[in-house]
A and B are shown apart, each in its own frame.
Chain A
Amino acid sequence: MKIVIVGDGKVGSTIAKQLSTEGHDIIVIDSNPRALAGSGNTMDVICLEGNGCTVTMQQEAGVPDSDLLIAATSADEVNLLCCLLGKKLGARHTIARVRNPEYYAQMNLLKEELGLSMAVNPESAAAQEVSRLLRFPSALKIEPFARGRVELVELKIPENSVLAGMPLWAIYKEFQVKILVCAVQREEEVTIPSGDFVLHAGDKINITAEHIEIEKFFRILGLFRNRVRSVMIIGGGRLAYYLAKELVAIRARVKIIEMDLERCEYLSEMLPEAVIIHADGTDREVLQEEGLEKTDALVTLTGMDEENIVVGLYAKAKKVPKVVAKVNKISFHEIFDHMDIDSFISPKTIAANNIVRYVRAMQNSVGSSNVETLHRLINDQVEAVEFKVWEPSDVVGIPLKDLKIKKNLLLATIIRQGKIIIPGGNDVIQVGDHVIVVTSGKPLGDLMEILK
């Protein structure tokens, strides 16, 4: 597909990279030649310098006959104007990044008027992910499928765990929990395991199951922790606002530490249930005074990745049970695994994933199945995709053991009329099923692609 991306910032370039590796024709517009030079050298895309919000520029980039226009500049207003122009010029679909909570709240109306296909709010999406983590703090990462009926959860196997040294087929026999291990990360190596795979202490594993089963599994492992009751947030940006809103709704006590007085006043006005502290969240005195040691969870959301990591590490040293740090710019994922911080979140990656999912769904709107959800795991090395099966095809109605399925690919779960099936060799896929596939190979656009 032909996709034009306006804005070559963090989100823009992440989307460009992912979509271009998936084989789309990408044209990036930005007014900053330095940013463009970087993108042009590292990605197979065309870069155009100029204001993407003008008709001449959009025409030069071929917006009129493009399939999708994505506006991801730093200004919401520009993004909306850009999409409006693009739609008028003839782009089939338009996606705008909208971050301002006030604009985002009226998105439904705007979407219709502007002909927008989708509005992406990285901060709001990230807030939802953090809130999931805080509701179930035992997991390092939680991704929902089928509207939350099935979850994909990441956990680390501790030293001396009962799981260490156990082959996967023995898990059900031993504990009677219906879970499926669908990806294992050992050091830098990622495996889509088979039943004979033996777990080690220190492995990071991803499991899929219903929420109740997952809770049962965590209790058996002795990793279960109740949802958090008090949360401290460092940095009062947009993400903090969205997160506080979510947390207040589940009646957690929220404390936000923010340096800027004006912002504090705004937050205090918008979030009457939360405690807003006007102070430097990187000051240890402040942290101690506000009760860092007694809080259930700490979320660091300042604009500086380094501060977020350092404060997170400090909190871990002070035995805060759950620490989540925002990392938006730094790209050294490899070292994150060695740090003691429980979870990292990156709004730009979440936003990019949302858009990639939309693009894949768009692409196979004519196919026999539809991409419903898409998550990337383990530093984007593994992908978990949920398909909805629309009509009969070569994979429907045949026992799984008779299908020639690709290597490095696992059918993790079938959801049939709300019932969850962990598939075995005799199960079949039926029309109307939701199927979750985990793969470390090529990205999947259609369920048919699981076949060799």
Chain B
Amino acid sequence: MNYRMMAYILGNIMQVEGALMGISALMAVYFAEIGELKAFLLTIALLVVLGTFMKWKVPKNRRIYGREGFVVVALSWVVMSFFGALPFYFSGAIEGLMNCWFETVSGFTTTGATILSEVESLPSSILFWRSFTHWIGGMGILVFVLAIMPLADERSMHLMKAEAPGPVVSKLVPKIKSTAKILYGIYIALTIIEAIFLFAGGMPLFDSVAHAVSTAGTGGFSVKNSSIAAYDSPYFEYVITVFMLLFSINFNLFYLLLIRDFKAVFKNEELRYYLIIVGFSTLVITANIYHLYPTLESAFRHSVFQVATVTSTTGFITANYEYWPELSKTILIVLTMLGACGGSTGGGIKISRFIILLKLCLREVRHIVHPRAVNIIKLEGQKLNEETIQGTTGYFITYILLLFGSFILVSLDNYDFVTSITAVITALGNVGPGLSMVGPVENFGFFSGFAKLVLSLDMLFGRLEIFPMIMLFSPSIWRRD
């Protein structure tokens, strides 16, 4: 293990986090929030000083391998969440360190589960930082660092692989730095476009920006207590629905659109499956809840918004689907587990993994019928190698085990079955709302400190796709040899 290089990367990340926090500090200056400004400046100072200290000595040996990549990514997310929580703590906006940590992890992992029941009274700069963590975590801070500075010689791919979601991570252009720049370029452009759309529709500027960064990361923190429902505006709901869906499809497709390769976009298998799933779920739920709403349009609007919010793993809400029929609720929970497309900012198991697993099932059936037949599995028109298939099944199994393990630990709090299991599902999938006591209009504040810790770790497991975090806890990694 190249510890020095790991420290160097961590140092870089801390400094970048400090710089990003500077935006919130400027907001505090603008809104004249002295106490919050102090909290931000203190945290920034800590980040910069510690960061500089850690990258004091530029390592001679910059070589990192897969395991260093995994561990450093997991570590940086833990470190980042810890320091990200400090402004909440120092300013006293949120009570208790564990609550601050939960809220920040929920922010960076773009979960959007909150322990706060009242957010509107929070100072603006704190509210903005809370939403902005979604934006930072959405595309990934390491990808950001890779875009702006040279880190580890040619082997930085290990870092990107560990942080970027999806079963196969591919570069858009040969240079990793240019790839990271293109991804962030698309990300920033889409965020700005959404903010403009919201602002043009009459949302206050601050709210537009906060909701845009929150949607971009597919997070779900709102600056209103009742989320998007507070505006009671079909226009906002449609705009946000569209952008939630946009941010939950593979970013490579936007690049293909930019270079005018429309054919490749239309032929994209994952996108087709995703649209079919979204379309079908919306239809079923609309029919299922039609009798609850005055018009077909409003039933459709609420249905498509809620479907988009859980498949994109955002977690905004416009309707309390706790009171919807069981079928609709069940569909939404299944979608919560499925999640978005690979290579997007969304979480969950990912549509592409679901497709692979589905094809694997079909192959098993075919194998029983024709035991001697040679069956290959194709994705996007290309043969998948056994390694990727194995990785996918391994991922799925670990996901389920983790789900059960966390479920048991959370049930120590002695809340009802639905509350505990949906809390874990929503945390692992980085979505936000669950059902029952953690339903769309509820919050996570009532859980014990231990349950909050378990759930926050689940969020990190979910965002980093499990294995980097497991590496962090595996003793074989930390042994000297």
Most central of A33, A43, A44 by chain B CB within 10 Å:
A44
- Measured in the bound complex, the distance between the Cα atoms of B158 and A2 in whole Å is 23
Closest Cβ–Cβ distance, residue A332 to chain B (whole Å): 16
Q: Is the CB of B158 within 8 A of A44?
A: no
Report A45-72 CB contacts with B as 1/0, cut-off 8 Å.
Answer: 1100000000000000000000000000
Q: Which residues of A contact B174 (CB under 8 A)?
A: 2, 20, 25-27, 44-46
Q: Which of B130-138, B149-157, B216-224, B306-314 contacts A (4 or more CB under 8 A)?
A: B149-157
Task: Say if the beta carbon of A417 comes within 8 Å of chain B.
Answer: no
Q: Is the CB of A41 within 8 A of B66?
A: yes
- Measured in the bound complex, the distance between the Cα atoms of B155 and A40 in whole Å is 9
Which residues of chain A from 19 to 38 have a CB within 8 Å of any chain B CB?
20-21, 25-27, 33
Task: Say if the beta carbon of A426 comes within 8 Å of chain B.
Answer: no
- Measured in the bound complex, the distance between the Cα atoms of B176 and A40 in whole Å is 11
Task: Say if the beta carbon of B171 comes within 8 Å of chain A.
Answer: yes
Total A-B pairs, Cβ < 8 A = 32
Closest Cβ–Cβ distance, residue A37 to chain B (whole Å): 9
Q: Which residues of B contact A226 (CB under 8 A)?
A: none
In the complex, the chain B residue whose C-beta lies closest to that of A37 is B387
Closest Cβ–Cβ distance, residue A209 to chain B (whole Å): 34
Query: Which of A21, A41, A46 has a CB less than 8 Å from the CB of B171?
Result: A46
Task: Say if the beta carbon of B368 comes within 8 Å of chain A.
Answer: no
- Measured in the bound complex, the distance between the Cα atoms of B155 and A45 in whole Å is 10
Task: Say if the beta carbon of B175 comes within 8 Å of chain A.
Answer: yes
Q: Which residues of B contact A21 (CB under 8 A)?
A: 154
Closest Cβ–Cβ distance, residue A89 to chain B (whole Å): 17
Closest Cβ–Cβ distance, residue A8 to chain B (whole Å): 14
In the complex, the chain A residue whose C-beta lies closest to that of B171 is A46
Query: Which of B66, B173, B177 has a CB less than 8 Å from the CB of A46?
Result: B173
Q: Is the CB of B157 within 8 A of A44?
A: yes
In the complex, the chain B residue whose C-beta lies closest to that of A46 is B174
Q: Which residues of B contact A43 (CB under 8 A)?
A: 154
Q: Is the CB of B154 within 8 A of A44?
A: yes
Q: Is the CB of A42 within 8 A of B155?
A: yes
Most central of B66, B171, B174, B175 by chain A CB within 10 Å:
B174
A20-B174, A25-B175 are known contacts. Are A44 and B66 too (CB-CB below 8 A)?
A: no
Closest Cβ–Cβ distance, residue B94 to chain A (whole Å): 42
Q: Is the CB of A44 within 8 A of B176?
A: yes
Q: Which residues of B contact A17 (CB under 8 A)?
A: 154
In the complex, the chain A residue whose C-beta lies closest to that of B161 is A41
The interface size bin for chain B is: 10 to 19
- A interface residues, tally (CB under 8 Å): 15
Task: Say if the beta carbon of B61 comes within 8 Å of chain A.
Answer: no
Q: Which residues of A contact B295 (CB under 8 A)?
A: none
Q: Which residues of B contact A33 (CB under 8 A)?
A: 385
Closest Cβ–Cβ distance, residue A40 to chain B (whole Å): 7
Q: Is the CB of A44 within 8 A of B385?
A: no
Which residues of chain B from 145 to 180 have a CB within 8 Å of any chain A CB?
154-158, 170-171, 173-178
Q: Which residues of A contact B155 (CB under 8 A)?
A: 41-42
Q: Is the CB of A42 within 8 A of B154?
A: yes
Which residues of chain A from 339 to 397 have a CB within 8 Å of any chain B CB?
none
Q: Which residues of B contact A41 (CB under 8 A)?
A: 66, 155, 157-158
In the complex, the chain B residue whose C-beta lies closest to that of A40 is B157
In the complex, the chain B residue whose C-beta lies closest to that of A39 is B154
- Measured in the bound complex, the distance between the Cα atoms of B175 and A41 in whole Å is 13
Closest Cβ–Cβ distance, residue B316 to chain A (whole Å): 37
- Measured in the bound complex, the distance between the Cα atoms of B156 and A40 in whole Å is 11
Q: Which residues of A contact B176 (CB under 8 A)?
A: 44
Closest Cβ–Cβ distance, residue B182 to chain A (whole Å): 13
- Measured in the bound complex, the distance between the Cα atoms of B173 and A27 in whole Å is 9
- Measured in the bound complex, the distance between the Cα atoms of B171 and A26 in whole Å is 12
Closest Cβ–Cβ distance, residue A396 to chain B (whole Å): 33
Report A1-29 CB contacts with B as 1/0, cut-off 8 Å.
Answer: 01000000000000001001100011100
Q: Which residues of A contact B177 (CB under 8 A)?
A: 44
Closest Cβ–Cβ distance, residue B142 to chain A (whole Å): 15
Q: Which residues of B contact A45 (CB under 8 A)?
A: 174
Q: Is the CB of A25 within 8 A of B157?
A: no
In the complex, the chain A residue whose C-beta lies closest to that of B264 is A60
Interface residues of chain A, those whose CB is within 8 Å of chain B, are 2, 17, 20-21, 25-27, 33, 40-46
Extra inter-chain contacts (13) besides given A25-B178, A33-B385, CB under 8 Å = A2-B174, A17-B154, A20-B154, A20-B174, A25-B173, A26-B174, A41-B155, A44-B156, A44-B175, A44-B176, A44-B177, A45-B174, A46-B171
Question: Could you list 29 examples of A-B contacts with CB < 8 Å?
Answer: A2-B174, A17-B154, A20-B154, A20-B174, A21-B154, A25-B173, A25-B174, A25-B175, A25-B178, A26-B174, A27-B174, A33-B385, A40-B157, A41-B66, A41-B155, A41-B158, A42-B154, A42-B155, A44-B154, A44-B156, A44-B157, A44-B174, A44-B175, A44-B176, A44-B177, A45-B174, A46-B171, A46-B173, A46-B174
